[in-house]
Structure formats: C-alpha cells, structure tokens
Structure 1
C-alpha cells in the first residue's frame, strides 16, 4: 500500500497530556505556571497566537483601566517605570507574551479546539485544528466574551452607514468621515465615545445603565483605596445579589493620559449628543430611544458617590490622614430627552455597537451550563470530573476577571488539579 493512502485507513494519532488548558491568555498562562512548578504534564492549546486578544481585540488608543501595579501574575509582575500608570494595548500584549516566555509555557499555537467530549476511557477527547488529543483534565481559559452581539434591528440600518461592533473598532481615522453613533456605555462604549470625541468627531451616544467610578479620590486612585479595603477579595457568594453579580456591567472610567474620570455630562457640554437607551430603528433610518437618559446619568453618579462614601468610611475607621475633596456636582442635565434621530439628516456615517458579547461553548460538550449558556461552577470547579474554568468575570471575586486576582484563582485550580491527579494515581 502506498504511503500516501495509509493515513486514510489508519486511526489518527492521539496525543495525550495529563492536563490540557484551552486558551493562552493571562489566565491560561497563570494556570500553566502553577502546573509547571508542580511538574504536572500539560499543554496549552491556542486558536491563534499567545495573548493575541490584547493586540488584535483592542482599539489603537486602548489602555488598561486598572493601574500597572495591579498587573501581577504568578511569579511575574509589572516592573516598569510607571506603576501608577496604565499600560497601553501593545504594552499589555508584550507584558503577557513576556510572561509566557519567562517560564517557557508549553503553548501550541494555531490549534483551535473544535470539540471537547468525555472520553469512554475517562478524561476528555479534544478535536483541534492541530489534530486529536486526550487529557485527564481540562481547563477552559477562553474568557467569557466570545461572540459580539448586536440588536436584531441593526439589520435595518441603511446600507450607506458603516456599522461595526466595539470589538472591531480601531480608531476614528478608520471610520468614514461624518458623525458617529455609539450605542452603549459600558467600559468599551464610554471609552470609544471619548476616543472619537477627543479626535474631534461629532458623536451621538446612546447611554445605557452602566455605573461609573471616579478615577481619583482623596489623593489616590480609587482602585488603590478599594484594593486596601479588600473589596476585590470578597467572594461572590458574600456579595449583595450573590452570583447575580456575574451579569453586572463594569464601571466606566479611563486610564488614558494618566487616568481620569469619564464624565458623560461634560462631554454633553462640549457638544456630544446624549440619548437614552436605543430601542429600535425605523425602516426610514430613524433611530428610536427611550427616556432613560437622566435616570441613567443619575444612577451612574450615585454609584460613584457610593464608592466615595465607602472610601470615606474606611479612611475614618483606619485613622488615615487623607486630603478632603469636594463631591462631584453634575455639570449638565438634559433639558428634554430626544427620542428620535434621523440618521441621514444627522450625517451619521457609522454606528459602533457596544452592547456586549454572548458566550459560545458549543464546542464543549459537557452538561455544566445553565439555560443561558453560562458555565455552572464553584470557583471554577464544575460537576464534570476534571473540568475547570478560569479567567471569567466574578469567577470567585470582583478581581477574578482582571490581573488582580488571576494568580489566586489559578493557584486554587492548580491545587484541585494536583489533588485529582494524585487520587487517580493512587487508584
């Protein structure tokens, strides 16, 4: 039989590892570091290249919203000249790539996982772009933001108007000339609106219900105060609302130019047009909005003020000498709420949808998901033996979705993985 025909008649070669980690971003790499220290055989499978989301999935002027001193991974920490600053996109990419290189993380790139199933002989079978694998245990480190979402009525936009999701936004110059409508004010939407505004573009912004936080208060970054207060360490089950916190939108703020508040009211004074939540789009190209603008602005301010109240209380209890600071006073209020916008008449050339993502775990064939497709777990440990998640928002605490607590989450899972491996050997 010819050598060329033989592979079609023989079973594919299956490569085995004790542990396979799906995803080579900072969360997967943190788990890998712990497994490497314990001498546990493992492999990271990455559909693209290591840490590529930091380079390919952010806009040109992106910066972290958490200070550089919080960028701490197991055995590795930011050691640059600006610990209180905020790394830009490419700096974060180099930081995470440098982490992978620092311990020789065993990453197989361009090996996107197509299916993970329970193996009849135990463990898990994985089908990937790089072939077939088997692992005793699997860690899913693909994050929680997989598929960009847009409202169904987006299909009614006139063909002459460019539309893209925030995940595809790169810069003001990359959009056609004209006014831009940004829909949504989570972290991405608010920062993209600011990016366009600072570039001198005419911006129309549909404001959602995202909260905000002050960048600095009483002489320090609010993140520093909250860190000292242990706010990022409170388990989700001890938070008001419990696991419902996982559905919360992040507070908007920016690390740009050394860090500052994002004040949508100030933007309005400077010419940005604000609306309530976008509710629909008429066939003639008229966008519709509800009358939630003032309520949303007030609610965002109330959250920021509540955080300041908590900081004040901590300062008082701890007897800290910190400068006093006047509270924020709204600089603008809508005289009336506009509920319609003729996109053509307003010269809108582009719409940026910043309304979130949905999960997509169709490749993971395990009964560990709720009715909305979110994984069910306790600190990343699922009911399917040897299957774990890491790097999800609120996996265990508020810090879980950021650099701040990935080290802790990764260590916890590595301990569970090591214990399971030991039990298997003993059996």
Structure 2
C-alpha cells in the first residue's frame, strides 16, 4: 500500500513531524524500531535529565505538565512522548526497524524493515535523531582486557562498574553527569578536550534558556554571526557540573587522552593514571548504512541536507543538530523545524503538480 509520507523515527522530531502532517491533512505513517514510544530515551543512562526545563521541553499542541523551572528526567520525557502520540492519535508502527531505504521507479521510496515487511512512500522524513552510534576512538584497542570499556550508550549506573578508578573521556553534558554519578562509588578522572565554556543556569532569576529564547539567539541561523559563535562555544548550562564543582566533589580533571597501554591512560600534559573502567562520552555519529539513496549521504556516511531538505527529491530530515539553528538540537526546536519541513514538502508537491 502506498503511503504518501513515511516518517522514520517516533522520537520528538518524528512525532512533531506527524503533528504538522496531520494538521496539514496529509496521510502518513511513523515507524520506529522500539517496542514502546520513548524507548530511545529509556535506553540511556539512568540519571539522565533533559538540557532544558519543562517550559522549554514541550512539543506543539501539548504542554509538559509539572514544575516549569525543573528538568524532567529521561523516563518522564519518554512518558510524555507516549502521551503525545496517543493524544493526537498519531499512526505509529512500533517494532519496525528500517533495514534498507531505496528509491524505486517513478521517484517513490521503498522501505524494507528487519521483520521483512515493506512500505512504499512518495516522500520520506528521516527523524532518527542525532544520538545513533557512539563514537569510540582508536585508543579503545590500546587498553588491556582487564579494563572495562563502556560508552555513554551502554553505561547505565555506577552499580555496573567494578571497583577501581573510572576514566570518563569527554567533558560534554553526558560525560560530566556520568562523572558526578560514578564519583559516589569510585575515584573518577575526567579527560577534557577543548576548553569548555558553560552558561550560567540562571540569570536575574530566569532560566538561561528564557534569555536565549527572548533574545532570539536560539533561532539565529547557523551561518549567522551569533550562530557561528554559539556553535563554536558548544556551551550548555552549568548545573553544578562546572570544573570547580567537579573538583570539589573529588573528580580529577585532566587534559585530552592521548595514549594508553594495559590499564594505564596517558594525557596531553604528560601525566598518567592507572584505571579500571573507561567510559567513552565523546559524542555520536550517524548510522546511514540503511539509506541506499544516491546523493543522500556524503562519502563518510553523513546525511546531506540544507535546513532539512535533501538534494534527493522527496527526502527530508527533522531533528538534525544545527539543522537551522541552536534550537534544532533541543526539544523546543523539533516543532518549528518540523513545521518548516512539512511546509517545504507541501510546497514541492504543489510545484510538481503545477508542471
């Protein structure tokens, strides 16, 4: 059966796309590999909380209930996504992991799922998110077998770790959160990369996100002066996880990890440490192995698009980091980006019909 629009992914980006497709009267279906809506959030580490407070963590049409100033945890947000899909009756097919997407005769697309089923669609919106495959540097092979190695995707809580020093590689939000949690049970070393600037969590009694939204900084185009500065800084709120706070908790902060041998880690300043566990928290890369559409990816497998519009006609993206601006990587950006993509999709259809 031909579905006019196929949305791949039932996270916040996919559900926001569904909301705007439904509002526009377009027939569509959303597919997701999980058994439940929100499973992509439930699969992450236990202590995860959102970057943004509830007042900036809603999708279009449904407010996130609770204290507007506090940060929801992963399970709260997963439940919100489930509620959202049910509230609007969005057509979601769970347990449908896309194994292959190809373009077929007439310019339509065919998705083949791991369960063997297929769906054909005139247009496809890829909403698989920016947290797909954890990046693991080549240094992983230089540690000995006695060192337990995890990623920010396989780490759950400190109870799964053996006794002994823990090295967290990567000082982003996840790396800092995990370092704080692990320090409750084990000695912790945090290996940083480039100098990291953090936003103050609050300014004059207001959330920093309130100020960034008010000033328009979050909506500044990626190629604007403000956008370039925000992208270069890659800052996030200091929620008692700045360097000084970490050091007060007894977490040792060291420069970049440059080498390893056995259970010894060596750092850029010449120092070293014997460690028992390494947790890699250096970011994620796209998994585009299933996307067999010409011009949809570059030679490194990165998705190609301009503000969510692929060079390949009929293919779109929602939920890409810096898709249009800083908000694109946040919950608050999913709705506006999805609205813009649905408008582009409908515009392209009208142009085709007029020819």
Question: Is 1:279 equivalent to 2:227 in the alignment?
Answer: no
- 8 A contact 1:55–1:90 mirrored in 2: yes
CA distance in structure 1 between the partners assigned to 2:83 and 2:98 by the alignment: 24
CA distance in structure 1 between the partners assigned to 2:328 and 2:224 by the alignment: 15
* Structure 2 counterparts to residues 25-424 of structure 1, below 5 A: 25-49=11-35, 50-56=37-43, 58-80=44-66, 82-130=67-115, 131-197=117-183, 199-209=184-194, 210-239=196-225, 250-253=234-237, 260-282=239-261, 284-291=262-269, 339-341=271-273, 343=274, 348-366=275-293, 367-424=295-352
CA distance in structure 2 between the partners assigned to 1:407 and 1:363 by the alignment: 26
CA distance in structure 1 between the partners assigned to 2:234 and 2:38 by the alignment: 22
- Once the two structures are TM-superposed, the CA of residue 170 in structure 1 deviates from its matched residue by 1.0
- Once the two structures are TM-superposed, the CA of residue 110 in structure 1 deviates from its matched residue by 0.9
Deviations 1:8-39 (A, max 9, x none): xxxxxxx3100000111010111111111222
- Once the two structures are TM-superposed, the CA of residue 377 in structure 1 deviates from its matched residue by 1.8
Alignment TM-score, normalising by the size of structure 1: 0.78
- Once the two structures are TM-superposed, the CA of residue 245 in structure 1 deviates from its matched residue by 7.2
CA distance in structure 2 between the partners assigned to 1:65 and 1:382 by the alignment: 28
CA distance in structure 1 between the partners assigned to 2:70 and 2:96 by the alignment: 35
- 8 A contact 1:185–1:252 mirrored in 2: no
CA distance in structure 1 between the partners assigned to 2:233 and 2:11 by the alignment: 22
CA distance in structure 1 between the partners assigned to 2:305 and 2:225 by the alignment: 17
CA distance in structure 2 between the partners assigned to 1:113 and 1:249 by the alignment: 35
SS at match of 2:106: coil
Aligned alpha-carbon RMSD (Å): 2.0
- Once the two structures are TM-superposed, the CA of residue 74 in structure 1 deviates from its matched residue by 1.7
CA distance in structure 1 between the partners assigned to 2:191 and 2:38 by the alignment: 32
- Once the two structures are TM-superposed, the CA of residue 252 in structure 1 deviates from its matched residue by 4.3
CA distance in structure 2 between the partners assigned to 1:423 and 1:123 by the alignment: 17
- Once the two structures are TM-superposed, the CA of residue 72 in structure 1 deviates from its matched residue by 2.3
Alignment TM-score, normalising by the size of structure 2: 0.92
Q: How many residues end up aligned between the 2 structures?
A: 351
Question: Could you tell me which residue of structure 2 aligns to residue 310 of structure 1?
Answer: none
Unpaired runs of 5+ residues, structure 1, are 1-14, 255-259, 292-337
CA distance in structure 2 between the partners assigned to 1:393 and 1:241 by the alignment: 12
CA distance in structure 1 between the partners assigned to 2:230 and 2:119 by the alignment: 35
CA distance in structure 1 between the partners assigned to 2:329 and 2:106 by the alignment: 34
Structure of higher CA gyration radius = 1
- Bigger drift between 99-108 and 359-368 goes to 359-368
CA distance in structure 1 between the partners assigned to 2:118 and 2:245 by the alignment: 55
